Chains A and B, each alone.
Chain A
Amino acid sequence: DAKTTQPNSMESNEEEPVHLPCNHSTISGTDYIHWYRQLPSQGPEYVIHGLTSNVNNRMASLAIAEDRKSSTLILHRATLRDAAVYYCILRESGNTGKLIFGQGTTLQVKP
């Protein structure tokens, strides 16, 4: 399984943008880049995913490097509710592709 590397923790101020980096230098051509976040005592929540092109949704944006060896999750305006552990995961193509979680980045948002 291709692995990802993320910083253990990051801090942000409320209402400022947050850029969460992820390295995945061993990504294969068919791996999708997924991001999930988890609040304490809850199941993970889907944030965004992409393959090659940058992606935007109501929660965040995903910027994917041209060589696909890294990506950045962008929260445009952090709120206190965005404080969570963010996981960057590579998912194999196909409906049965499993998600192998790394340690993720713990994001703290300061008021």
Chain B
Amino acid sequence: GAVVSQHPSWVICKSGTSVKIECRSLDFQATTMFWYRQFPKQSLMLMATSNEGSKATYEQGVEKDKFLINHASLTLSTLTVTSAHPEDSSFYICSASIAGVRAGELFFGEGSRLTVL
């Protein structure tokens, strides 16, 4: 099946630094990718929809200047948490659907756990 890979799987950083998380579709092209965050014992919360070659669409309440999303190619989307603070510590998960497949399944990455000290 299709594989989505995230890197890094975990990262620890100091408060005030920026962290970049990569999401790659390894064996398929993805015109659309989705970014989620998940706090302990909670469900996934959609942050933004990333479209190849255009600006991301952010969900209400998500700061676009804090969570920078870039989708430069059909196989790579990146999420940069700028000036991270302890409250940004979370599990970040990306997902992608195969280009051209309508309403098909989404493939999820393994997740990236961010801890901000």
Residues of B within 8 A of A103 (CB): 43
Residues of A within 8 A of B34 (CB): 98-99
Answer yes or no: B110 CB below 8 A from chain A CBs. yes
A58 to B90, CA, bound (A): 33
Residues of B within 8 A of A34 (CB): 105-106
B83 to chain A, nearest CB (A): 26
A74 to B93, CA, bound (A): 26
Contact-residue size bin, chain B (C-beta under 8 Å from the other chain): 20 to 34
Residues of A within 8 A of B108 (CB): 36, 43-46
A99 nearest CB neighbor, chain B only: B106
| Contact call B101/A95, Cβ cutoff below 8 A | yes
A-B contact count (CB 8 A): 69
With beta carbons under 8 angstroms apart, the residue of A42, A98, A100, A102 that contacts B110 is A42
| Contact call B43/A101, Cβ cutoff below 8 A | yes
Residues of B within 8 A of A68 (CB): none
With beta carbons under 8 angstroms apart, the residue of B100, B102, B109 that contacts A43 is B109
Residues of A within 8 A of B109 (CB): 43
A32 to B95, CA, bound (A): 17
- If A42-B110, A91-B103, A96-B32 touch, whether A101 touches B45 (CB-CB below 8 Å) is yes
